[in-house]
Chains A and B, each alone.
Chain A
């Protein structure tokens, strides 16, 4: 029971980080219909910038710079792709993001080299103990930050002009342009937002108890974003949040009970989120909150 509660708390806090990653992935898809395979590398970029500059700028300065740099890089990636948005199929653009991902990940891995980069966060390896439940302080901070960001994001989406424009463009891009909404600007803002979310997620994704910032972070983050976004329904922000939590919980529980699950082989935690995703898709082919694709003959 005790172990269950500990795993639940850790799973939820990890799920918050996963939800931030998935949210950025989904925002880009919602605004542009592009599956952004470079999202994992954006998470890595965010973490890398923090790891490089925190000794000089201090932790807060490093986080601000990282968010800004990642947002700008994401917007550039988006702008390069967006130039062709009218000409190419979203599927083709998704392949282009794969290329961007390879370039970014390779370069960042080269830059990291053999250095041991850490996030330099003030929470370090400290652990909060409530009763008999132990949670790393970074995870508590991650949960708080994630909740604040998600609430802020959802309010922006619901109440601001940009939010209305994004939702309108996501639903019917052509009609939205008849309202004077500029799809290009909406999309650029979505890419920037995705970059900012990726940087924030990158911080907590590589902080304790993770081993630190390495080239493999990008792949790991993408491995979280895809099942979370797909099982939530790709174009649904609510879906991204639920999907992120589901992936975090699955990964934590499978790792926590791995002794009991040893008959499934080692490393089952890596595939478990995908298994959950497939099970959800069997029942709901459009994901939990996804809009149904319908075609008229």
Chain B
């Protein structure tokens, strides 16, 4: 899957017919977080004047990191540019403070809108225009109100009271108040209803028509490829593909990446098949694992329904995947099942016990373990120490016995360590048990999280985006591991994933969420063919309708 297979580097520039230097030119950009984790590796990208350039990729691919590097906000996240250059209109943006970047003419709309909720709409716009000269502010405001008439009506309202779509409009409007030459948009369609996504897309097209260059970061490939002239696909910090947007939209590779066509066959032959054989042996006591029955589960945040009447059942010893685009309610569902969020209605019974009314630690004691979307490990502690934390619920030695190192406590610790070493072996972590977690590569850290959850000896394992930020090979390896875990331990696994390719290989059942509702349910193959699912993931690009 090299970039050359879709388009050679030169044709991307030729496609837009640009002469001379592009407005924004990124070359061989390397970004690291906390001095060790490499989030971007040798990324090069051109944004020609007057164009819309899209950057696609899954969670953790480095899209937001790229925007942070351009807008100078990496230090807020503990990151820094290790190598490479970022040139805007011939000026070097590298090492400029965010405020200076804005004054140079590059303005970013952050991911998740980030409106100032306590300020009025009018004050939000004013904050956006602070960097611009006073005389141009009135013109900018005029333009913004023409683009978004609804904001004029809501001028005196607090921004926190606006709907998600209106907040996204406000976030874009606020950035336009600085009259940027280059607008950076981070996931403008995130969590918005389809109609609102279309309106935002129209606005972006209009902004471009008015002469502002746009760099658009999107997970929604359908929207991005329709708007963009050229597109780049990032994968684990590298540019995996790039070329004219129309070309990429029709490319098999892009479809595969988003719908996991190829992975099903591979997965079937390797990991999943192995798992099925192992469970069919009947060696493992599957009967001890109860069923998880979720019925009509609803979660609301204020007036926003994050989850609306979702039902599914995780059969004992099966792998059940919960998938859907960003903002579909997947993590919300997991947080409701583990007692982090209160549910508004519905039930989740595990072996007849109602989970929704229990506190998180009580749920953990029932044998429900989870991993987190973003790593939640103690970075300075060793792998062994992190895994020992997972044994917490199986320890009996108290403060005094442990502190005095009495024989009982020592015996218990030795027994616990044996268990931990067993799990570490299963997940190929034996060699790194004594290393601090922070020193491990990202993929290994994800495995440590999985191992910690397994150390609690769960009967139900909840995995929140285990493959996020992994390359294709890493995620295939992880899929095999998950299948192996299920086969050897006979436990149920509820898996949340964004990456369909990962899910298709290992899941027995798939439930698809979109905007908090269940839109499909069935075997991986059934779900993959479901027109609703294809629409949710790839949309129905108007451009392709005529083909």
Contacts and interface: CB of A to CB of B under 8 A. Distances in A.
Interface of A: 86, 161, 164-165, 167-168, 171-182, 291, 297
Nearest to A167: B119
B452 interface: no
Contact of B103 (A86, A164, A180, A291): A180
B70 to A, nearest CB: 11
Contact of A175 (B72, B75, B110): B110
B365 interface: no
B340 interface: yes
B174 A164 contact: no
B25 interface: no
B116 A178 contact: no
A165 B127 contact: yes
A188 to B, nearest CB: 14
Interface string B107-127: 110100010111100011011
B131 A179 contact: yes
B131 A180 contact: yes
Which of A167, A174, A291 has the largest count of B CB atoms less than 10 A from its CB?
A: A174
B130 A181 contact: yes
Contact of B116 (A161, A172, A297): A172
Contacts of B98: 177-178, 180
A291 B116 CA distance: 13
A174 B103 contact: no
B125 to A, nearest CB: 10
Given A171-B117, A174-B76, A174-B110, A182 B97 contact: yes
B99 A180 contact: yes
Interface residues of B, number: 33
Given A180-B103, A181-B99, A297-B372, A175 B130 contact: no
B372 A167 contact: no
A137 B107 CA distance: 54
A164 B130 CA distance: 9
B108 to A, nearest CB: 5
B73 interface: yes
Contacts of B372: 297
Nearest to B376: A297
B178 interface: yes
Contacts of A164: 119, 123, 126-127, 130
Interface string B342-361: 00000000000000000000
Contacts of B124: 168
B165 interface: no
Interface string B236-247: 000000000000
B119 A179 contact: no
Contact of B130 (A86, A165, A297): A165
Contacts of A177: 72-73, 76, 97-99
B130 A178 contact: no
A75 to B, nearest CB: 19
B340 A179 contact: no
A179 B73 contact: no
B335 interface: yes
A181 B119 CA distance: 15
Contacts of A171: 116-119
A146 B494 CA distance: 60
A221 B102 CA distance: 41
Given A168-B116, A177-B99, A297-B331, 8 more contacts: A164-B123, A164-B130, A165-B127, A168-B123, A172-B114, A177-B76, A179-B107, A179-B174
B71 interface: yes
Given A167-B123, A297-B335, A297-B372, A175 B99 contact: no
Nearest to B114: A175
Nearest to B123: A164
Contacts of B174: 179
B110 A179 contact: no
Contacts of B260: none
B128 interface: yes
B71 A178 contact: yes
A176 B178 CA distance: 12
B119 A168 contact: yes
Given A179-B174, A180-B178, A86 B75 contact: yes
Contacts of A86: 75
26 contacts: A164-B123, A167-B123, A168-B116, A168-B123, A171-B118, A173-B76, A174-B110, A175-B116, A177-B72, A177-B73, A177-B76, A177-B97, A178-B71, A178-B102, A179-B130, A179-B178, A180-B98, A180-B99, A180-B103, A180-B107, A180-B131, A180-B178, A182-B99, A297-B331, A297-B335, A297-B372
Nearest to A177: B98
A164 B159 CA distance: 14
Given A168-B119, A182-B99, A176 B340 contact: no
Contacts of B110: 174-175, 178
Nearest to B464: A297
Contacts of B103: 180
Nearest to A174: B76
A179 B103 CA distance: 9
A180 B130 CA distance: 7
Contacts of A175: 110, 114, 116
Which of A161, A164, A167, A175 has the largest count of B CB atoms less than 10 A from its CB?
A: A175
Contacts of B71: 178
A161 B127 CA distance: 8
Which of B108, B119, B130 has the largest count of A CB atoms less than 10 A from its CB?
A: B130
Interface in B153-189: 174-175, 178
B128 to A, nearest CB: 5
Contacts of A179: 102, 107, 127-128, 130-131, 174-175, 178
Which of A161, A165, A167, A180 has the largest count of B CB atoms less than 10 A from its CB?
A: A180
A131 B264 CA distance: 91
A160 to B, nearest CB: 10
A297 B108 contact: no
Which of B76, B117, B331 has the largest count of A CB atoms less than 10 A from its CB?
A: B76
A178 B128 CA distance: 8
B116 A167 contact: yes
Contacts of A174: 73, 76, 110, 114
A181 B132 CA distance: 11
A172 B71 CA distance: 16
A176 B114 CA distance: 10
Interface in B72-91: 72-73, 75-76
B130 A161 contact: yes
B526 to A, nearest CB: 31
Contacts of A168: 116, 119, 123-124, 127
Contacts of B131: 179-181
Contacts of B126: 161, 164
A124 B455 CA distance: 74
Contacts of B97: 177, 182
A54 B127 CA distance: 42
A168 B175 CA distance: 14
A69 B19 CA distance: 58
Nearest to A161: B130
Contacts of A165: 127, 130
B190 to A, nearest CB: 14
B499 to A, nearest CB: 20
A172 B174 CA distance: 14
A107 to B, nearest CB: 35
Contact of B127 (A173, A181, A182, A291): A181
